Structure 1
Amino acid sequence: MKTENWAIVASALAGVALVGFFAAPSLLRGPPRDQETLCPKTGAIGQTLVLVDKTDPWSEVQAGRLKTLVKQIGDELPADRMLSIYVFNDVFEPGFPALISLCNPGRTATELIGNPRREYVKWVEKFGRPLDEALKTLTQPSKGNQSPIIEAIGDVVSRRENRVAEGDRKLVLVSDMLQNSSQFTVFGNGPGARDQEKLRQVLAKTWQSSGAGSWALGVHQVQGVYEPQRLEQAALLWQQAFQKMNVTVNWDRL
């Protein structure tokens, strides 16, 4: 009787082991992914959005700093988190395309126990190389008469594709912060120019309508071709406006 019982138990255990043997490869490969974005089909876990203002030319040194910044963001991006990079110029067009929008596919267990070099090459092809191509475009010089910074922020953060359901969202803005559009300008002596209260009103309206308040904001101010005094004046206007809106912003110079 005991022999029969042990036979039944052994058979059951063998069945479980067999199921595990066939299930393991799919588990080790990681979650199913979208072939275009490399994100899990269940959705990205968090997002970092880099918005770059190319309405004014930069020096080679500043372009190099931008490349270092974005490369660091890409290198430190956690697995399954989305990295989106947008570039805008003086001609603002709503819905302008992303330069890149990909999740870091990370490393799976099969990659760790398999051929590390081969799997690293796969990772570079999927994520690293597109990021490098985006960096080449980012550092190319550009110039324009308008600088629609507020408009660009409101446009990208309000898009459906940038509303990840899980994880945090971080907006990294790279700009000289010299807003110049019909909504607000830091140039000239016309009505409302450099008016801190008007800037606050325009920002508050954009933040409310776009949902920008759900994003953590970081600003990397670029000097470009302008004198430091003008940049400091613009920085103070923005910082005071954000303070009155109770928006926390990490601000530094690139």
Structure 2
Amino acid sequence: MPRRKERGPWFWRGAIALMLTSVFGLFAAAAMNQPPATDTETGCRLDRQDPSHTIVLVDQSDPFNATDVAWVRALLEDEARALPKFGRLTLSVPNAASPYDPVTVWSACSPGSAAAANPLFQNPKMIEQAWQSKFHKPLMASAETVLIDTVAPSSPLMEAIFTLADRPDFQGQVPARRLILVSDLMQHSKEFSMYKTGTAWEAFEGSSLMGMRPGLEGVEVVARVVPRQEYALPLGEVKAFWLRWFKDTGAVYGSVT
């Protein structure tokens, strides 16, 4: 019976090298999955490397009925779910008393959803619990303070957008930026009011807001029109006005519904 061939030193050296490579690979993978330092209040990265930022501007110029509240909640739910880990969501409202100072109701970053969790290094159930408690629950609680049955005396949409576009965390270094308008799109302020001049572009050109266009290059803008029983102006004309307005800002005005 032939003798069993013994494994030589090269075999054992290769086995040891393979084992060390596997161990180092696991350590490297674990290191790559170590989260960056974050702010304790917002959950956002301290190095300010936000992968995305979605701003939802909710116009309170008219009261929200129960149906409005339901679809706005659903909108916020969808936007929150769609954020990548450390993606920022800001909820803001126009400020009738000080048009260029929109109120930031809430702003924080997603800790990541269970759908994007790496099961090798993360527990999807714990990820979902953290997302619910640290992000989703406070977002929806803040939304309740916005979706109230009150009427604002004016609707300075352009002024609010101008200021929001100037936020340091909403500039070109952020790879994905979205601006969502929840409004009937009726601009109404001292500087320019559609209730007084309609949607005539010539009237807008004569206002001070003509020269105050925000810089929104590369920003995806979505308008969700709040349905009203009766509109002060033909809705088609209002939509066309905003399409032209946003085109001049460099934004990607992709959807008006």
Q: Under a length normalisation based on structure 1, what TM-score does the superposition of the two structures give?
A: 0.77
> What is the number of residues matched between the two proteins?
244
**For the Cα contact (< 8 Å) 1:28–1:108, is it kept in 2?**
no
Q: Distance in 2 between matches of 1:216 and 1:33?
A: 28
CA gap of 1:33–1:141, structure 2 versus 1, over 3 A, is farther
Please identify which structure carries the higher helix content: 1
**For the Cα contact (< 8 Å) 1:196–1:237, is it kept in 2?**
no
Of residues 236, 240, 245, the one that matches 1:242 is 245
Opposite residue 197 of structure 1, the aligned amino acid is E
Residue pairs, 1:87-126, within 5 angstroms: 87-92=93-98, 94-106=100-112, 107-109=116-118, 115-126=123-134
Give how far 1:231 is off.
Answer: 5.2
CA gap of 1:237–1:181, structure 2 versus 1, over 3 A, is farther
Identify the residue that residue 218 of structure 2 maps to in structure 1.
214
Identify the residue that residue 143 of structure 1 maps to in structure 2.
151
Give how far 1:180 is off.
Answer: 1.6
Q: Distance in 2 between matches of 1:3 and 1:74?
A: 59
Identify the residue that residue 30 of structure 2 maps to in structure 1.
25
CA gap of 1:33–1:27, structure 2 versus 1, over 3 A, is same
Give how far 1:173 is off.
Answer: 0.8
Q: C-alpha deviations, 1:177-221, integer Å up to 9, x for none? A: 221212101224xxx5653223257665333xx312432222122
Task: Flag the structure with more relative contact order, 1 or 2, with Cα contacts below 8 A and sequence separation at least 6.
Answer: 1
Q: Under a length normalisation based on structure 2, what TM-score does the superposition of the two structures give?
A: 0.76
Q: Rg: which structure is higher? A: 2
Opposite residue 184 of structure 1, the aligned amino acid is F
SS in 1 for 2:161: helix
CA gap of 1:184–1:57, structure 2 versus 1, over 3 A, is same
Opposite residue 230 of structure 2, the aligned amino acid is E
4+ residue segments displaced more than 6 Å = none
Q: Which runs of 5+ in 1 are unaligned?
A: none
Identify the residue that residue 62 of structure 1 maps to in structure 2.
68
Identical pairs, percent: 24
CA gap of 1:89–1:61, structure 2 versus 1, over 3 A, is farther
